A and B are shown apart, each in its own frame.
Chain A
């Protein structure tokens, strides 16, 4: 096979007597020059491609991992500050200890009760004050989601929010979920719903158990892009 290297390329680290062409990787200086060139070309191509792509683009300025500002909830406040479905007289039995990030969480029991209420209301009136929101990608949503759940992918929420805003604003209980486990997209979407999109914070809840826990408890799911 032919060898495209010049005769002095036996030792790549040795400089030839004549000056090598710019960024020739036969010298350590050329090695770095070549690496910097690759980095520069990659950066330009990456940023250009990101700016023109129609889907899966990353908004460089957007904070995808926001947290709600902390807010205080007076102890013993009325029902309006309780998670939906929590009606017991001893909150210690049902209200889990929440991280102090201002985001309200609900348990599986609450999520199930809200789902049943939502289904009953929907059957009776065609609408419901309970609204489940799926923060996962469209592929995962179409694979399976909680019946009636809106699809609002956290990383594309800016493009999706306008169409969904009326329904989000009408709901009293917006329950956001993702897969559960180490998935925290539901928390970030909940924070964005409040801080970026103006949905009242007190209406937003996160079901941290997510779809995995939902399925483990033999609750219904549907597949496809249709909500129901």
Chain B
């Protein structure tokens, strides 16, 4: 597979800049929402049924710390400080949570009137935006995952520092 066109595109720095802006502001928004009221996120973590509820400090600490990781990663991605390290973390978070959102959606199919298929399911995935349709959320997460990966793997010399440079 010829990746030369991709390299040329990457060298312009424009995809990196776009990826940084989109991923950075998205994580900033979702992280700030959760920090404002961490309880819905705590409930969502429980709803995923992958974390032990006891001892309770594990799930409680994650509900407190994960939103701050999102915000600090967002700040790093937007500022260019520790850019690739932050992108590594956002990629990891998206790679972990996206299958969990899918599992949550699949588990809710058929549980309520109207939840006939995955794309009919509306649920709170703990993403900071309340109850939302699962399919668009999965598509958004997949897009963010690709953009995070682009930031992580980009070799562009342009737009690696502050957004102005």
Contacts and interface: CB of A to CB of B under 8 A. Distances in A.
Q: Decide if A and B are genuine partners.
A: yes
Interface of A: 1-5, 9-12, 23, 25, 30-35, 37-39, 41-43, 45-47, 49-50, 56, 58-65, 137, 155, 181-182, 185
B92 to A, nearest CB: 8
B114 interface: no
B165 A12 contact: no
Interface of B: 35-39, 42-43, 46-47, 53-54, 56-57, 60-61, 63-65, 67-69, 71-73, 76, 80, 82-86, 88-89, 112, 154-155, 157-162, 164-165
A34 B160 contact: no
Contacts of B46: 65
B82 A1 contact: no
Contact of B85 (A38, A50, A59): A38
**Most central of A5, A32, A33, A35 by chain B CB within 10 Å:** A35
Contacts, number: 120
Main secondary structure of the interface of B (DSSP, over half): helix
B64 A4 contact: no
Contacts of B158: 1, 3
Contacts of B83: 25
A47 B67 CA distance: 11
23 contacts: A1-B158, A3-B161, A4-B160, A4-B161, A4-B165, A5-B161, A10-B157, A12-B84, A25-B82, A32-B88, A34-B86, A34-B88, A35-B85, A38-B73, A41-B72, A42-B69, A42-B71, A45-B72, A58-B42, A60-B57, A61-B56, A63-B56, A137-B37
Given A33-B85, A42-B71, 10 more contacts: A9-B160, A12-B155, A31-B88, A38-B85, A42-B69, A46-B67, A46-B68, A47-B61, A58-B63, A155-B42
Contact of B65 (A43, A56, A137): A43
A181 B76 CA distance: 40
A64 B42 CA distance: 9
Given A11-B155, A63-B54, A56 B160 contact: no
A36 B53 CA distance: 25
A182 B122 CA distance: 12
**Most central of B46, B80, B82 by chain A CB within 10 Å:** B82
